[in-house]
Each structure stands twice: as structure tokens, then as C-alpha cells.
Structure 1
Amino acid sequence: MEKPLVLYALCGSQRKASTNRRLLEALRDNAPVAVCVEICEMIGELPIFNPDREGENTPALVEEFAAKVRACDGIIVACPEYAHGLPGGLKNALDWLVSRDEVPFKPVMIAHASHRGDFALEQLTEVLKTMSFDVVNDAVLRISLLGKSEDAQASVLAESVENRRLLSALAKFCAAINRTRIWPDRSSHW
């Protein structure tokens, strides 16, 4: 049996009714069999970054988070904008990875569930590039769910699945991952 491409999704919002989380869930639920999207559940639980707690003092939860990042083939980041900036929890999670070796050249896809939030997207892109992530610009996915009722969100996501907008972005991301690595046992089955 073929091993799936593993994507680890980071949601910048910790709200239970987060539109960005809903977008990540739609990507996960509609990904082809050869692609596994796992949504990170640790961001809100990570301790505040402190350089004095790196190395042998790194908290176990941070080590677990970093291991997930290391093990995945690519990262998906969905992020709202808070006061023209990145949510603190997401920035904190990224800060824990800055001086580690899990990140350099790791492919990353940006997803955004709003028609606004350009400040945060610019900041997120800058942070990811500064950290040496490989931002796949062709795979950016922006679907406006913000301000819509749950039913309207479901309708927009269903339409995005039907018109293949969701899968197209995911396919572009997976293709970029496969171009940068040699994996003879993987195929995407799009």
C-alpha cells in the first residue's frame, strides 16, 4: 500500500467556530486518499517562547510539536488577522521553530478564510520566508467565509469543492512538494 503525503495544518485561530479551521477541515475532508491532512491541536497549549527554554530545556509539548513538523511533507497555515497582525498563538508556535532544524526548505501553503486580512498575510509570508520555509505561492487558497452564517459557510465550501478550487490549490501544493523531493512510491491520484 502506498504511503500518503502527510501535510500538517496550523490554524492561527483558536476559536471553536474559526472560519480558518473550517477551511482546514474542508481541505482535510476533501483531500484525495494519497494525501493526509492533520490539523495541529497543540498551538493553544504551547508555552510562551523563551530562548532560555531551548535545547535541553525545551518543554515536552514543544518537542512533540517540532516532531510533527519534522515528520510531515509540508505545512498548511490558515491564519486570521488580529489588529492588523498575526495571532499571538501562531506567532508563538513559529517562534519555537526558529532556531531548530525542522523548518528550512519545508514547503508551506497559505490558506485564508477571509476577503480581508492582507496585513496578516503579508506578515505571515515574511515570517515564513525569514524562517526559510519554502512558500508555494501558486497554492495560496483564499476563500471568503468570514461574516457568513454556518449554512452559508458550508455552501461556499461545497461550491469550492465542486468547482475544484480547493483541490486545485491542494494539488498545486502537493505537486510542488513532489518536484522538490524524489519519492518514487508516491503519487497524488488527482
Structure 2
Amino acid sequence: MLHGECRAGRGGAVVEILLVTGSTRSGSTNTAALRTALEAAPDGVTVALYEGLAELPAFNPDQDTDSLPAPAADLRGRIASADALLFCTPEYAGTLPGSFKNLLDWTVGGSEMHEKPVAWVNVAPEGRGNGASETLRTVLGYLSTDIIDAACVRLTVPRGAVGSDETIEDPQVREGLRDVLRTIAKHVVG
């Protein structure tokens, strides 16, 4: 298994979901939510956390060739091997953080995101984070992904809810994440 991966299936098909954070900040509630999803994965679901956001170079179309920079090639390979993606991102200045938009820019030239089932969790307090979610919907639509609306939810996580192990103990948040993963898996197996 890869670092940050949890396999929860026994027999039968296993749905592989790649968890992608939009934050590079240590102590991020967004990353903590996805780390918690690693522990909350239901049977039949394998989850892995993509941790290469900070290593991606600034997107340059001249480098979007058959010999991609190694971090971009790794990103595309991880996306290609996943059955679905779950994003969790903060909002900066009313939209996506630049580093996360850069990650998405690296996927435009490839085919890995085409019709890939995707969803996101917004962990911001009510009334915040909507700009990031709307922008993410726009970009993912441009990439021709398969947005799973039923799995695009708000699960508010107060900053103080993140424990020293960088996960969230709140049982409602954990069950909410488990439900999101179940919804994604059900969509994938159709």
C-alpha cells in the first residue's frame, strides 16, 4: 500500500478514491478532514491521500508534454489509477487557492480527468467557502468530469476540532465523511 492509504474492502470489487487537499498549511482543517476519511473508509472502499501539492511546479504549457515534470507525472498517474476523486479545499480571496488551481491546471492537458467521478467536501463554516466550491465546479466542468452532486457536501469543522494526530474525532464529521465515500462508491459501481 502507498503512504496514506487505507484499504477497507473484503472480497468483491474495491472502489479506489484519491483524496486531494487544496491546502498546503499545516494544521489545515481541509487536510484533517481527508486524513479522517482515511480512517472512516467503509468496506469496499480504498482511499489514498495525495500529498504532492506543494511539490508541483508552477504550471507551464511548454512543459505539458510527453515528458512531464516528475511531480506532474505522479499526479496524473495517481488520478488515472483512481476510480474517483474527493477534494477538500479552503477558499482564498473568494476562490480556489493558487497552489490548488495550479494542481488542476496540470490536469488540463491530460485525459485522466475526463469523465472521472469527482466530489468535494466544504469544511468551512456556513456562509464561507462557497466561492471555492463554485470555482471548483466550474473548473471540473471544464475538465469534463462526472460531478457527483449527492457527494458534494458541507461538513463544518471548527479549527479546534483537529486533534494532535491531525484528524477529527467528532463522530458526526466522521459519519458524514463515511457517507460521502459510500455515495461516491455507489456512483462508481452504478
Under a length normalisation based on structure 1, what TM-score does the superposition of the two structures give?
Answer: 0.85
Deviation, 1:154, is: 3.5
Counterpart secondary structure, 1:173: helix
- Give unmatched runs, 5+ long, in structure 1: 180-190
Deviation, 1:170, is: 1.6
Counterpart secondary structure, 1:110: strand
Matches of 1:96 and 1:14, distance apart in 2: 17
Could you tell me which amino acid in structure 2 is paired with residue 169 of structure 1? V
Could you tell me which amino acid in structure 2 is paired with residue 14 of structure 1? T
Residue matched to 1:70: 80
Alignment equivalent of 2:25, drawn from 15, 33, 36:
15
Q: 1:22 to 1:176 in 2, by over 3 A?
A: same
CA RMSD of aligned residues (A): 1.7
Aligned pairs for 1:6-85 (under 5 A) are: 6-85=16-95
Could you tell me which amino acid in structure 2 is paired with residue 129 of structure 1? G
Deviation, 1:76, is: 0.5
Residue matched to 1:184: none
Counterpart secondary structure, 2:85: strand
Q: Deviations over 1:122-141 (max 9, x none)?
A: 01111111111111000113
Counterpart secondary structure, 2:168: helix
Question: Could you tell me whether the CA contact under 8 Å between 1:109 and 1:136 is conserved in 2?
Answer: yes
Residue matched to 1:154: 168
Residue matched to 1:98: 108
Q: 1:149 to 1:28 in 2, by over 3 A?
A: closer
Matches of 1:38 and 1:95, distance apart in 2: 21
Matches of 1:57 and 1:47, distance apart in 2: 14
Question: Could you tell me whether the CA contact under 8 Å between 1:7 and 1:73 is conserved in 2?
Answer: yes
Identity of matched residues, %: 30
Under a length normalisation based on structure 2, what TM-score does the superposition of the two structures give?
Answer: 0.85
Q: Deviations over 1:8-66 (max 9, x none)?
A: 11100111101011111111111023211111011110000000001134112211110
Q: Deviations over 1:63-102 (max 9, x none)?
A: 1110100000000110100111101111111101102111
Could you tell me which amino acid in structure 2 is paired with residue 60 of structure 1? A
Count residues with an aligned counterpart. Answer: 175
Deviation, 1:3, is: 5.0
Richer in helix (by share): 1
Counterpart secondary structure, 1:38: strand
Matches of 2:106 and 2:177, distance apart in 1: 30
Deviation, 1:149, is: 4.7
- Give unmatched runs, 5+ long, in structure 2: 1-10
Residue matched to 2:182: 171
Question: Could you tell me whether the CA contact under 8 Å between 1:103 and 1:132 is conserved in 2?
Answer: yes
Q: 1:111 to 1:33 in 2, by over 3 A?
A: same
